[in-house]
Copies of this chain bind each other. A is one copy, B any other.
């Protein structure tokens, strides 16, 4: 297993992204970046070269990983496209904020008494979906995460097909900001496994699954 990944390039997205309404306020989520850090550590342990494109997360990343810091989804996609050539596997572990304000304000939006504020949000680019469509002859392998609050497995399987992923990891929102996780790992070929334990253990399972796809 180790020999396969030796010197292969692995690209990982990690952490939350932020989409600003104005210079102060943003839309985001509570992703800690722990899953991305665990995946980077596992890839390095298997001998891979690792690039992590990360939003503002609190978890430190392994020193031997090459780290690119980004803020929003578009910036994350641009950084990934730049890092893509030569990559064997891409794992989208970032919790990308998938809506952004259509027209961010350059100045802090002021409260106008009790008046409501109507905010038009537009979808952000689909980072892992865009990367998986860049595949040539089945490479790179792409793995994504599906954070769902209901109908977890069906929503995840649908997402895997729509985004042309080789693997999807489906979990609930309790995985955010926790070191423990419960997840379903679903592979394109039909393989599936339930996992409960540390994010480190889940990272190991993901690389085992990806190894079998190669």
Q: What is the interface of chain A, defined by CB distance below 8 A to chain B?
A: 18, 21-30, 56, 58, 95, 97-99, 102, 107-109, 111, 113-123, 147-150, 173, 176
Would you list the 8 A-B pairs with minimal beta carbon distance, nearest first?
Answer: A117-B121, A108-B149, A119-B119, A116-B122, A23-B173, A107-B149, A24-B29, A23-B149
Cβ 8 A contact of A176, one of B24, B27, B95, B98:
B24
Task: For residue A106, give the distance in angstroms from its CB to the closest CB of chain B.
Answer: 8
- Report yes or no: B108 in contact with A24, Cβ–Cβ below 8 A: no
Complex CA–CA separation, A173 to B115 (angstroms):
24
- Report yes or no: B118 in contact with A120, Cβ–Cβ below 8 A: yes
> Could you give 19 example pairs across A and B, Cβ below 8 Å?
A21-B27, A24-B95, A24-B173, A25-B29, A25-B97, A26-B27, A26-B30, A28-B28, A99-B111, A99-B117, A102-B116, A107-B149, A108-B148, A111-B123, A114-B123, A116-B120, A116-B122, A118-B119, A118-B120
Which of A24, A27, A113, A117: most chain B Cβ within 10 A? A24
Residues of B within 8 A of A114 (CB): 122-123
- Report yes or no: B27 in contact with A56, Cβ–Cβ below 8 A: no
Q: A25-B29, A28-B28, A119-B120 are in contact. List 12 more A-B contacts (CB 8 A).
A: A24-B147, A25-B27, A26-B29, A27-B27, A30-B56, A98-B111, A99-B111, A111-B123, A114-B123, A115-B123, A116-B120, A116-B121
- Report yes or no: A147 in contact with B108, Cβ–Cβ below 8 A: yes
Residues of B within 8 A of A24 (CB): 29-30, 95, 147, 149, 173, 176
Residue of B nearest to A119 (CB): B119
Residues of B within 8 A of A148 (CB): 108
Residues of B within 8 A of A111 (CB): 98-99, 123
Residues of B within 8 A of A173 (CB): 23-24, 108
Complex CA–CA separation, A96 to B123 (angstroms):
26
